[in-house]
Structure 1
């Protein structure tokens, strides 16, 4: 009498195990930003054995770690800067990048190929190359030094000097590390996800490369700047993140279809056109981030601060998702009535000021 339920139960158990295995493999092979977990590592990075014990590194990245141990403190620093920069860039939006702190075990909002995932991939790829390029210029690495001096000076009173960011070395090593987990060949959706992440990583490095500018220091009598010593350097990571945030806002949802003789990404809801190399792409929709939903990776906006007079993403209307908000007052202690004394110090009084704040219901 109990044979059918027993068989049915066994089948359901096997299906559940199989589904769990597929999900585990998907997470293990498709999440190339798990390495951001090294932001919390206190490893001294002085022995190759540590490459296997630090959470977040996948097989190919472990091998890279063993071959280039000197670079690992730089990548750990870039993981921390990725987290700080992402949170600063999205501090006034419903998604505030707090998902990144869950590395290496991300929630679905960063696992499923969302536009948030696209941004984090691009920013972390840019940050890893940026950190290596800056470390070379700072003399922190034995394997590299300053960038090569550019060609002839463009004008009189101008000379190349200083120590430029070694972006060529940074792009090489940062790219090898950030992309290491994405070059394993897989079929089906896993392969499409890898190609999407590789594209978004490349967008991040492209924005880094386009941020290079000429920086100069003046020399001359009384600050006349009769001679300028200049070098090539990248913009700050926050500036690059701001550019990527604009790409995030205009990111394209794509599908992978056969166009002509090969498969490629095309916009899902538009005419067939090639995806631009500077365009962030994603394949899965995002949570609304209004309500708490741990299964989807949404922390919700309950308790978040909002701006009652703003018309932007930090406004109480948008941030609170129509639920309303609660006001409260806060007393601040500030320096005031400051006075300069010759020579050379400043004295200030302390004043109390009451301000009104607003938090989402």
Structure 2
């Protein structure tokens, strides 16, 4: 590793987060040079011996693990860009509020980070970028014709075909099984060693939710084969959703996250009756263990969210949600002229030519 990269990583020690989430420091590591992951993991504070060993033994896998983590954090920031909490995770934000507060925001970050790792590894496997894994398992069930897929098609190669009534299972499915398995071994290491502690139980549960929702969200992607575009035969394989689409689904889970309590080293959530139910409320209140079937796909948290309006919002861009983001402190509007392509035309073959137009753009910033 270059000396400048080592110096930068050592500087992170000043802002080192708690060991619970120290593996997130890998998102700031430089991975451009070959065979750097063993050195990176050796110098990241707080990693467990098992995580360091996995880094040393699987340098190519760790590269895609880091890529998945970065994608998760970037997607988190994009998803929350118009909310009071905007997923501020850049150092020194990592390891400070809200992540040391066991809030619903922390629950979301853990879940999307775990899912981001799995997503990156699963896709890398199907593309043949990791030596230790290949295509995902070919489904063995007989299914009817697949619904149209919103995802881009890829060439069907690899797996042993399995016939169905309307298509053939073939191609190379995303290997989410490998992604989840490796991600679980690496990401969950610290919390598994502290599994009797409520916060670690919360983290492990939310990590599992992220991975499980990703696996459950896999859909079919198909390609037709025949003369002149006809669909004489159709091959299909399993693919994960685009990660931003998955993040939107996880955001819905964030909004419905359940507050839990600790009792005798176990986490429980109280299920209250739906609105409009009459009679004695306590008849309908029941306590669910977090590990129950009803809670398997639900995010959980231990603490209420902090007051994000107490955090400085000055100069934060607030788009069209300034009243909430700026916490009632007001905002200023700037106007600027920008160049953008316009009047684009397709020129045979194969070019798109555009003119350049001036456009007045307004931007809002908190006071």
**Using a 3 Å threshold, how does the CA distance of structure 1 residues 68 and 103 change in structure 2: closer, same or farther?**
farther
Question: Match of 2:267?
Answer: 264
Contact 1:192-1:256 within 8 A present in 2 as well: yes
**Whole-Å separation in 2 of the counterparts to 1:133 and 1:346:** 35
**Whole-Å separation in 2 of the counterparts to 1:327 and 1:46:** 45
> Deviation of residue 157 (structure 1)?
4.9
**Whole-Å separation in 2 of the counterparts to 1:136 and 1:319:** 40
> Deviation of residue 94 (structure 1)?
1.5
Alignment partner of 1:35 is 2:35: no
Secondary structure, counterpart of 1:284 in structure 2: coil
Question: Match of 1:80?
Answer: 70
Q: 1:204 aligns with which of 179, 203, 210?
A: 210
Alignment partner of 1:330 is 2:316: no
**Using a 3 Å threshold, how does the CA distance of structure 1 residues 346 and 167 change in structure 2: closer, same or farther?**
closer
Render the CA deviation track for 1:148-193: whole Å, top value 9, x for unaligned: 2222653445112211111222211111111111111476xxx111
Runs of 4+ aligned residues of structure 1 deviating over 6 Å after TM superposition are none
> Deviation of residue 104 (structure 1)?
8.6
Structure-to-structure mapping, 1:334-349, within 5 angstroms: 334-349=340-355
Question: Match of 1:306?
Answer: 318
Question: Match of 1:285?
Answer: 304
Question: Match of 1:195?
Answer: 201
Question: Match of 1:14?
Answer: none
**Whole-Å separation in 1 of the counterparts to 2:350 and 2:81:** 38
> Deviation of residue 329 (structure 1)?
1.1
Alignment partner of 1:248 is 2:254: yes
**Whole-Å separation in 2 of the counterparts to 1:84 and 1:96:** 11
Q: 1:160 aligns with which of 163, 169, 174?
A: 169
Question: Match of 1:118?
Answer: 107
Question: Match of 1:177?
Answer: 186
**Whole-Å separation in 1 of the counterparts to 2:297 and 2:36:** 38
**Using a 3 Å threshold, how does the CA distance of structure 1 residues 225 and 67 change in structure 2: closer, same or farther?**
same
Contact 1:37-1:104 within 8 A present in 2 as well: no
Which structure 1 residue ranges, 5 or more long, are not aligned?
A: 1-26, 293-299, 309-314
**Whole-Å separation in 1 of the counterparts to 2:92 and 2:217:** 28
Question: Match of 2:61?
Answer: 71
Contact 2:195-2:201 within 8 A present in 1 as well: no
Question: Match of 2:276?
Answer: none
> Deviation of residue 353 (structure 1)?
1.7
Moved more, 114-123 or 278-287: 278-287
Render the CA deviation track for 1:60-111: whole Å, top value 9, x for unaligned: 322332343332111111121111111111111111112x222795113101
Contact 2:198-2:267 within 8 A present in 1 as well: no
> Deviation of residue 56 (structure 1)?
5.7
Secondary structure, counterpart of 1:142 in structure 2: coil
> Deviation of residue 221 (structure 1)?
2.0
**Whole-Å separation in 2 of the counterparts to 1:47 and 1:37:** 12
**Using a 3 Å threshold, how does the CA distance of structure 1 residues 125 and 341 change in structure 2: closer, same or farther?**
closer
Question: Match of 1:8?
Answer: none
> Deviation of residue 343 (structure 1)?
4.2
**Whole-Å separation in 1 of the counterparts to 2:108 and 2:247:** 9
How many residues in Structure 1 have an aligned counterpart in Structure 2? 313
TM, length-normalised to structure 2:
0.78
Contact 2:172-2:237 within 8 A present in 1 as well: yes
Q: 1:235 aligns with which of 233, 241, 247?
A: 241
**Using a 3 Å threshold, how does the CA distance of structure 1 residues 47 and 117 change in structure 2: closer, same or farther?**
closer
**Whole-Å separation in 2 of the counterparts to 1:306 and 1:28:** 31
**Whole-Å separation in 1 of the counterparts to 2:37 and 2:359:** 53
Which structure 2 residue ranges, 5 or more long, are not aligned?
A: 1-16, 144-163, 274-284
> Deviation of residue 34 (structure 1)?
2.1
TM, length-normalised to structure 1:
0.79
Contact 2:335-2:360 within 8 A present in 1 as well: yes
